[in-house]
Amino acid sequence: MQEIYSEEEMRKALGLVETRPKKARAEASQPVRYTIVELSVRKGGAGLPLRFEHRSRSISKVTAQLEAEKEAKRLGYQVWALLDIRQI
């Protein structure tokens, strides 16, 4: 009984498969940088303060702080104080 091959299988058998040379994946020349913002927040404005940490892709500390405060407010926290901003 004769087997039926697809065109792709025939090309592969004849060595005619066009393979794109894989681009050498360049290792990250610069590591991913982000800014960590730490805020002291309270749930509903009362109770014990909690430490809230937000990672931002922004290189601007001010923008990262605003993003963190916005995220904390979205989650229902009241921002009490800025503890730390680090760029990593």
Comparing CA positions, the residue from 28, 33, 35, 88 lying closest to residue 63 is: 35
Q: What is the pTM of this model?
A: 0.64
pLDDT tens digit sequence for 16-26: 777 666 676 66
Beta strands, E only, 1-88: 35-43, 50-56, 77-87
- pLDDT bin (cut points 50, 70, 90) of residue 11 is confident
| Helix, strand counts (H, E) of the chain | 2, 3
CA triple 37-43-46, angle to 5 deg: 120
Q: Residue 3 corresponds to which amino acid? A: E
* pLDDT at residue number 67: 97
DSSP label of 47? S
pLDDT tens digit sequence for 26-83: 665 677 789 999 999 999 878 899 999 999 999 999 999 999 999 999 999 999 999 9
